Structure 1
């Protein structure tokens, strides 16, 4: 099978982790290829995510690299599965790659923890709120492009409704609740939707009220996606130039601390719900 020229985010991450294992073992790619019974190009393609690998091949590589962390190896083996296409792949030719990768990341996450300062969390937006947001996009989107992005955003929310929904925590600053995106009816509907979603057992929405002390965050939305093991966690940052994915262990630790500090300054879920309700009533 020829190497893929368009590996998915999950395939790329598996390759990155296999490269980390090899480097920790102190092996060059040529030496690893020799032990595996292949050539250096194959190792390079596996580590770039261009070759789909089987769970057995992952376990073989882990033995070659003398990795004793069985939970981690099992998790890596669980990331295999060839080139099976997720629903998000149908959008790959029509949306920015990073948006499609984000949907893939959310779908496979064991849990999600997000923080927003001035935007509503994407997975908690109503269609009208999302539509009003996309209409302000720069460069401006055409009407059919707006609808395409709305449909994609709403489809991403299916992970909160499936048989085994993804545990989801949203840390929302009060500023985001008062931004007034769209018409007053759109704002009230959006705030009501937050209250409704907060009543699900697997969803926690906490609000940082105005007046709380500063915390170490730049204001950009943060998505922390938990993997089956801590080494496989991923942070996604939403910037003006697109999504940025981070998986370095030091950076993961940093963002766990940032989110912990933000949540410590937030109201408890019940009081957060009351605040959202009061803001909705004031509109």
Structure 2
């Protein structure tokens, strides 16, 4: 009998969440579902908690018993199955927090990314010098080697923008983040130039909300929206003082889509944003 995994991956946990939602839509208890699929109630609970893996064929069987006929969703769920594959982020397992690694896993598998940041440059767009200065202001303070671990992890995350077939990436950045001084003038100017260089990539879109653009609804926290293979598997990451918070409740996903739409409407066009960033760099 396989033992439950003490460290289920983010994708395995998400599969469990979605299977639980399918069961609840079918108005079945875990005990009733176990009888239908030929398992124990504890095994159904462990699958839904992500502690047990499940095969693609098993997912299709479970979906059939739950009267789910959404084939695109079922196909997408099967991609979350199988043996746990060690991603590159596993080398940081004993160094960084599980929240950071969960974020990296979700980000790595996203089909598209859309972010809005008010006071910080998005992590995938940061230079190493900017990231190093940023991590130098954490509370409590990090030790030098801890800062370097976080910098190397952040820079490695950025490889998704340079894949042979990268996911489309759209960043909405407020002028406040562009003017925030992390590091000396050389570091700040280098970060602004880096943004414009990345904006030239085919799959990267960077837009700026200037101070003069007026107010729009947001709490001020960074929002990272990761698109899944189907919209039901989308995930939102919020920056908080206690670390990354991942959200996948349908109502919340819809809410943050609307917030991102509002932010996008307040932003300049990509071309005007590039000119705006250039002017800011010259004023330093």
TM-score category, normalised to shorter length: over 0.9
Q: Secondary structure at the match of 2:27?
A: coil
- 1:89, distance to aligned residue in structure 2 (A): 1.5
Task: Using the TM superposition, name which of 82-91 and 153-162 deviates more.
Answer: 82-91
- Map 1:66-145 onto structure 2 (within 5 A): 66-145=67-146
Offset at 1:213?
2.3
In structure 2, how many angstroms separate the alpha carbons of the residues matched to 1:168 and 1:229? Answer: 17
The aligned counterpart of 2:195 is 194
User: Which residue number corresponds to residue 268 of structure 2?
Assistant: 267
In the alignment, the residues of structure 1 paired with residue 226 and residue 253 of structure 2 have an alpha-carbon distance, to the nearest angstrom, of 10
Pick which of 41-50 and 91-100 moved more: 91-100
SS in structure 1 at match of 2:115 = strand
Tell me the secondary structure at the aligned position of residue 243 of structure 1: strand
Distance, in Å, in 2 between the alignment partners of 1:32 and 1:180 is 55
Return the alpha-carbon distance in structure 1 between the equivalents of residues 221 and 39 of structure 2: 44
What per-residue deviation string (whole Å, max 9, x for no partner) do you get for residues 233-279 of structure 1?
A: 11110011111111111111100000000000100000000000010
Q: Secondary structure of 1:2's partner? A: coil
Task: Report the secondary structure of 1:84's partner residue.
Answer: coil
Indicate the residue corresponding to 1:282 in structure 2: 283
CA RMSD of aligned residues (A): 0.8
Residues 195-221 of structure 1 deviation map (CA, whole Å, 9 limit, x = unaligned) = 000011100000001122211101000
> 2:177 maps to what in 1?
176
CA distance in 2, matches of 1:279, 1:250: 38
1:1-283 residue pairs with structure 2 within 5 A? 1-283=2-284
Residue 211 of structure 1 aligns to a residue whose secondary structure is helix
Measure how far apart 1:81 and its partner are: 2.3
For residues 11 and 27 of structure 2, the distance between their equivalents in structure 1, rounded to whole angstroms, comes to 25
The count of residues paired between Structure 1 and Structure 2 equals 283
SS of match in other structure, 1:237: strand
CA–CA distance in structure 1, aligned partners of residues 212 and 279 of structure 2: 17
| More displaced 10-residue stretch of structure 1: 29-38 or 102-111 | 29-38
Once the two structures are TM-superposed, the CA of residue 110 in structure 1 deviates from its matched residue by 0.5
